[in-house]
Structure 1
Amino acid sequence: MSFKIAIIGAGSVGFTKKLFTDILCVPEFKDIEFALTDVSEHNLQMIKAILDRIVEANRLPTRVTATTDRRKALEGARYVISCVRVGGLEAYADDIRIPLKYGIDQCVGDTICAGGILYGQRNIPVILDFCKDIREVAETNVKFLNYANPMAMNTWAAIEYGKVDTVGLCHGVQHGAEQIAEVLGAKSTQELDYVCSGINHQTWFIDLRLNGRPINKDELVAAFEAHPVYSRQEKLRIDVLKRFGVYSTESNGHLSEYLPWYRKRPDEITRWIDMSDWIHGETGGYLRYSTETRNWFETEYPQFLEAASKPIDREKRSNEHASHILEALETNRVYRGHFNVKNNGVITNLPQDAIIESPGFVDRFGINMAAGITLPEACAATCIASINVQRMSVHAAISGDIDLLKLAVLHDPLVGAVSTPEEVWQMVDEMVVAQAAWLPQYAHAVPAARERLSTSKVKTREWAGAARRSVRSIEELRAEKAALKQAG
């Protein structure tokens, strides 16, 4: 087979390498072309060198090109994969820093909450630019695979306004299933059957079976509470399981910021999180992790390049959906996964226009969703609160309506639990002014926002958050990795 895959935001080096090697685990795909594009020439050349080394080491005819000219990369592409982070770590730092001044403590801030909503405002105009180019220069029946957050908002915009055949992809379901299999004593996730449905980052394991035997809430709660690690790391997640009756896919830290109950006061935050790793609820944890990862890669690049000389091990193909979807579409080997698509009746008690994440099957005919799923009422209520925020956020990003943007932020569950309307109005003004370089649709609103900030009497504070850690130096990271290697 010979076709072209374009990867936008290919400078996301580690993830691009994973997608690349996964796809090349499919024997029929050895003769395809990967067209890499990114706004950073530096990052592009680093990842191209790694991928070229993989091709050379495995003696493959695979072609790898790299260009900052996005349209050139998209020309003739059958598949387009997006891994972009618009504004990079600079804008992301403001997504965490500014809301903290108003008492809003986020762990990740990339889905909803104040940070995720502004992230969507930066991404959506760019996503629509991608879609325009895709419609004009890619293959006629091109499929757009979006990995970029905020997943639901980006996918919503691409489908509704970009008019491109789009599917959103995430690995939260797979990671949740791995945890459940482990606490139940399964040898692997192959022994676990499940239906997981909801919206991205708020999906719920509504049917669980271990070797065909149904698993009920009480058994699952007991299994998690008996686990020596997860009982500490997933306290909030286990509490939600007890109250809702079903387990959430998302990590302790992620889930905590989508709900109005657990991060509303500093003492509550420290009660429910675990500081053994960023993902369990640390203030700005993913920002710290992302910063350290970038610094580590820049410093240790020669090691990454050397590691690329090893043969591809097909047994280590990851559970990321992209390679399996492409394999099913091109070879008709059927694949079952969980995909982000427009609802259109798939989940009976969520809005029709929402972007849902739910089970589906892929073959030559495309992605075929399992319809007629009904969520438990509490799960549906929680999802609907987020969907309403997502819808307003997408419409604000399209229209450049700053008042609608403020209403979207005001209706966010965690923001509403912490901040007053006056604080929300000022916070959004501050974030729009700080991120104006990445928000062209709000250019007309920036002068008035800046003027309001100059006369505002809403008080703020400089606050690091309830559980903030400093970015570690390369030397500290080396020492930690060495200690872990010695202990293990």
Structure 2
Amino acid sequence: MANSSHHHTVNIAYIGGGSLNWATKLMADLAQDRLLAAHVRLYDLDHDAAVRNARIGARFAEVSKGYPARYDAVRSIEEALTGADVVVVSILPGEFEDMAHDIDIPAAYGIRQAVGDTVGPGGFVRALRSIPMMVEIAEAIRKTAPKAWVCNLTNPMSALTGAMYRAFPEIRLWGECHEVTKLRHQVAWIGNRELGSERFSHRDVTVNVLGINHFTFVGSINIGSRDMMPAYRAFAQHHGNSGWAPRAQKPGDEHDHYFMDRSRVKFDLLGRFGIPAAAGDRHLAEFLPQAQYLDEHEAWDFTLTPVSYRERDRAQKRARADALAAGEGVVHAERSDEALVDQIKALLGFGDFVSNVNLPNRGQLGGVHIGAIVETNALFSASGVTPLVAGRLPDELLTIVADHADRQTAMVGAVMENRWNDLFDLFHSDPLVAPLAEAEARRMFGEMIAATSHHLPRDLVRTAA
């Protein structure tokens, strides 16, 4: 990464560069930053979407507070990766139609899913169609940019990060998720409420993260030198029955309806296991047997997000993006809640930075097999990405986490070694699927595989039929 006296050049390859969500967050973060001079190459299977985003990026560059970033849409992954210092991977594995099958087929068998992209039947089949895509990307990185730092934003995070490490063991990769930020926002709110002023942001809150992606917990909470755990426990107990949100839900707002997190599952898990849960309720619920939360999701104040809403939301985002690309509307150089630019600057040597990320377990999370993908804090510095020892979860919780981590590891191994016959038993062992009789579960698995067969290896489709 080249430096000059005025700015610090970083070449970023964005795989999935037509993104309607993460790409514009990165553009805003680069525009508000004063140190980096970024050249971002956007690669997407939908080249027109990458071209649109390059136009939007040029608008963000115009309002940059520092050195304006450059955005180019490129036609091959090799062109994007050549000379890259950092690679961002943000793809949609398949279409929303595939995700609809992931949700609707299990629903016909009585299985409820709030998200369906991480665990449960939906997360499992999404991983099956995603792993070959991520392996292809990892192999392209190995050939063209083996020393680049790689940030994966794609779900299912644990399985796909694991697959990339299996494909290219020396890859310099971390999986990035913002779910823990929700708890940090809550703690900042508690601190500000006590002071009577808006002094703290989530960036002032430090937590020790333990778990796996979307099933994360925190063993300590601090603002500066103050231990916020007692205040958080009192807050969770006070709001346990009523739930809590930072503002009132906007009437008729679909996004608020489906995504506003009232934390009642979080608060209940704290009561059950003695350690605060960090991820959002919709994700947390899917790691546990359906009877615990999903069957009574309305009573627990969270929703099951239908894919039809995601399709409407995507159409709105696409319309907004087209308008921005055409020069309409206003873009702002405002910092998002995402940590990627902070992480990049730390890797360049501009001060250490700690954040929660997904990495192979090297002992940072006790009681989980070495090599499994786990989520803990890591130190970003000029020396690289170093996982920090998080400790160990309470035994009852550790059993749940280790079970999911082992299943994810085994599923990745089975796909990458073409052991298709091993997949059904893993699928059936998930807590959401396990209550089904074997014949029923096998029929559901076959239907789900058939519905997304155009994205899957033929031998897998044949085995599941």
Q: What TM-score comes out, normalization by structure 2 length?
A: 0.86
Provide closer, same or farther for how the CA distance between residues 96 and 342 of structure 1 changes in structure 2, counting only shifts above 3 A.
same
Q: Does 1:444 align with 2:464?
A: no
2: CA distance between counterparts of 1:372 and 1:218? 20
The match for 1:430 is 447
Equivalent residues of 1:8, 1:37 under 8 A apart: yes
Pick from 390, 393, 408: which aligns with 2:408? 390
2: CA distance between counterparts of 1:111 and 1:174? 18
1: CA distance between counterparts of 2:71 and 2:80? 11
Q: Does 1:48 align with 2:54?
A: yes
The match for 2:423 is 405
Shift of 1:93: 1.2
Shift of 1:297: 2.3
Structure 1: gaps (5+ residues): 275-279, 451-488
Shift of 1:194: 2.2
Amino acid at match of 1:247: P
Pairwise CA RMSD of aligned residues? 2.4
Post-superposition Cα deviations, 1:372-416, rounded to whole Å, max 9, x if no partner, equal 612222221221121122112212221333322211111111211
Post-superposition Cα deviations, 1:37-66, rounded to whole Å, max 9, x if no partner, equal 111123222212211222234495532111
1: CA distance between counterparts of 2:385 and 2:215? 21
Q: Does 1:10 align with 2:27?
A: no
The match for 1:197 is 210
2: CA distance between counterparts of 1:219 and 1:61? 46
2: CA distance between counterparts of 1:111 and 1:33? 32
Shift of 1:124: 0.9
The match for 1:213 is 227
Post-superposition Cα deviations, 1:411-466, rounded to whole Å, max 9, x if no partner, equal 111211x42221221111111111111112xx02434644xxxxxxxxxxxxxxxx
Which is further off, 78-87 or 387-396?
387-396
Hey, which of these two has a bigger chunk of helix by percent? 1
Equivalent residues of 1:257, 1:414 under 8 A apart: yes
The match for 1:250 is 279
Post-superposition Cα deviations, 1:226-245, rounded to whole Å, max 9, x if no partner, equal 87634993322222111111
Shift of 1:309: 4.8
Pick from 170, 175, 179: which aligns with 1:172? 179
Amino acid at match of 1:281: T
Post-superposition Cα deviations, 1:325-381, rounded to whole Å, max 9, x if no partner, equal 101011331111111111111112221121111112111001122226122222212
1: CA distance between counterparts of 2:291 and 2:277? 15
Q: How many residues align?
A: 433
Aligned residue runs from structure 1 range 361-380, under 5 A: 361-371=379-389, 373-380=391-398
Q: State the percentage of identical aligned residues.
A: 25
Pick from 32, 42, 58: which aligns with 1:36? 42
Post-superposition Cα deviations, 1:145-168, rounded to whole Å, max 9, x if no partner, equal 101000000111111223322100
Aligned residue runs from structure 1 range 311-330, under 5 A: 312=333, 316-330=334-348
Provide closer, same or farther for how the CA distance between residues 445 and 364 of structure 1 changes in structure 2, counting only shifts above 3 A.
closer
Provide closer, same or farther for how the CA distance between residues 308 and 395 of structure 1 changes in structure 2, counting only shifts above 3 A.
farther
The match for 1:64 is 71
SS at match of 1:414: coil
2: CA distance between counterparts of 1:70 and 1:28? 27
The match for 1:352 is 370
SS at match of 1:320: coil
2: CA distance between counterparts of 1:419 and 1:304? 48
Equivalent residues of 1:360, 1:369 under 8 A apart: yes
2: CA distance between counterparts of 1:448 and 1:61? 52
SS at match of 1:207: strand
2: CA distance between counterparts of 1:183 and 1:423? 47
Equivalent residues of 1:361, 1:369 under 8 A apart: yes
Q: What TM-score comes out, normalization by structure 1 length?
A: 0.82
Equivalent residues of 2:34, 2:67 under 8 A apart: no
Pick from 150, 160, 173: which aligns with 2:156? 150
Equivalent residues of 2:30, 2:69 under 8 A apart: no
SS at match of 1:108: coil
